Amino acid sequence: MQPTRSKRSLWIVAGATALSVLVSLSAAGATLEDLPPFAWSHTYFTPSTLGLPVNATAPEWSQRTWCGHRTLLVVSQSRFDQQLLPIFATWAELDGLMVLIAPPPHNSSSIAELRTLAGEQIEILSNNDARAFYDKFRIGELAPDVIFLIDEDACIIYRQTRLSLRSMPDLEPVVLAFAAGDPLPEATITEHLLAQGDQAPWPDFELQSPDGETLSLSAGPIRLLFSGEYVEGQQAALVFHALDELRADYPQVEFVWHLPYVTASGYGAIARMAELADDGTWDASWGKRPVDDYLAESIDLLAAWRRRVAGYAETIAAEWTVALDPGYRLQRWWLIYGAPMVMILDGDGTVLFPCSFFLADHRTGEPVLHSGAIDALREVLDEAVAEGGDDAP
């Protein structure tokens, strides 16, 4: 079954970084088999390449001081959505808030155009200065863009990865509270950069089952989490079936299929942000149609998607915990930065295998998984079970 245009567009951004990995490999004349399994994720997507964490001190830069004022900083080495500039310009008008953007490398004419689009109240760094920020704020060459909120004491009090019209509605109340010097909203999601051996905090919010019941993730069995949209014949489906075969050998382990989605109210919030960003016009993937038509179709597609997922939960994923993630909250909480993705947690939340792309090589025309990938996961699960992780899922 092929996904609809609108539903597929929700996963385009999630898979963009994975695609860049495959393109980089192909350009180098290499395949996934030329590297250890999961090597790309464990090299290019780690806490040392995905940006400084919350509560870190913002590093000094040239003669600039972070102290004494509040700063919204965007650092983007690989991608920046210029469509969002009008929204940032609105925030730049807030009293006491400085907006600063370190964009991906551009030629001089492109930098000039970007500065024109941004307006006078947003500072766009030059290529040389932006490169210094990539290093100082630990944004790797393949990492998604990250926004940092830095307070008057040079402390990073909030960060959010991957900026888009979908993420702007959740970011807006955080920015407004930050600019006013107020506490961040109670529902604010904190991103946690998790490496192997770290203690993953259990989410303080609930997920959903396909039938609408609430699901909670807390201490319990070993868990293998897979994040990816199932489309028969495509990469994530191949990964899912490989993981399902692995699942049969580990009854002690809870296999969780994580599916983030935009809620019905979320589509309305996206429409409002699109109007702020682009005077009511629409991205080409939405057909540049009227807002009311977009909202009606989106809600219909969401209902169809939920029915499809409910069908999967009774068939191909009957032995899985299917966890729907309204509003992409768990995705941000554990920084599940792309798809298809896999991670393994011990029963107490210790990260046994960090969030990693599970990629297929397409050079032959058909997706092929790395021959050592499942064995690498099996080794982690064997050790976890041997150490006493035998609570029933």
pLDDT value for 36: 81
Give the lowest-confidence range in 156-160, 224-228, 315-319, 337-341: 337-341
pLDDT over threshold 80, residue 267: yes
pLDDT value for 8: 39
E-state strands within 95-145: 97-102, 122-124
Distance CA 292, CA 280 (A): 11
78-87 pLDDT tens trace: 888 888 999 9
138-187 pLDDT tens trace: 999 889 999 999 999 999 999 999 898 889 999 999 999 999 999 999 99
pLDDT value for 6: 38
- Burial of 209: CB neighbours in 10 Å, binned 0-12, 13-18, 19+: middle
pLDDT value for 67: 85
Distances (CA, A) of 272 to 74, 82, 161, 268: 22, 17, 21, 6
pLDDT value for 170: 94
pLDDT over threshold 50, residue 28: no
More confident residue, 292 or 227: 227
Average pLDDT, the chain: 86
207-229 pLDDT tens trace: 999 998 999 999 999 999 999 99
Q: What percent of the chain has pLDDT over 70?
A: 85
CA angle, residues 83, 90, 7, in degrees to nearest 5: 35
pLDDT value for 206: 93
Distance CA 277, CA 250 (A): 48
Pairing of strands 122-124, 97-102: parallel
More confident residue, 366 or 195: 195
pLDDT-based confidence at 287, cuts 50/70/90? low
Cβ neighbour number for residue 142 with a 10 Å cutoff: 21
Closest CA to 143 of 52, 57, 27, 25: 52
pLDDT over threshold 70, residue 22: no
pLDDT over threshold 60, residue 18: no
Amino acid (one-letter) located at 24: S
pLDDT over threshold 70, residue 393: no
Give the containing element (helix H, strand E) for 357. Answer: strand 351-357
Query: In this structure, are residues 381 and 253 in contact, taking their beta carbons and an 8 Å threshold?
Result: yes
pLDDT-based confidence at 274, cuts 50/70/90? confident
Give the containing element (helix H, strand E) for 271. Answer: helix 264-278
pLDDT over threshold 80, residue 366: no
pLDDT value for 286: 54
Running DSSP on this structure, what letter comes out for residue 199? B
* Residues pairing with 146 in the sheet: 75, 161
pTM: 0.88
More confident residue, 356 or 276: 356
Distances (CA, A) of 42 to 14, 188, 309, 351: 18, 28, 30, 14
pLDDT value for 78: 83
Tokens encoding 224: 């293998």
pLDDT over threshold 50, residue 4: no
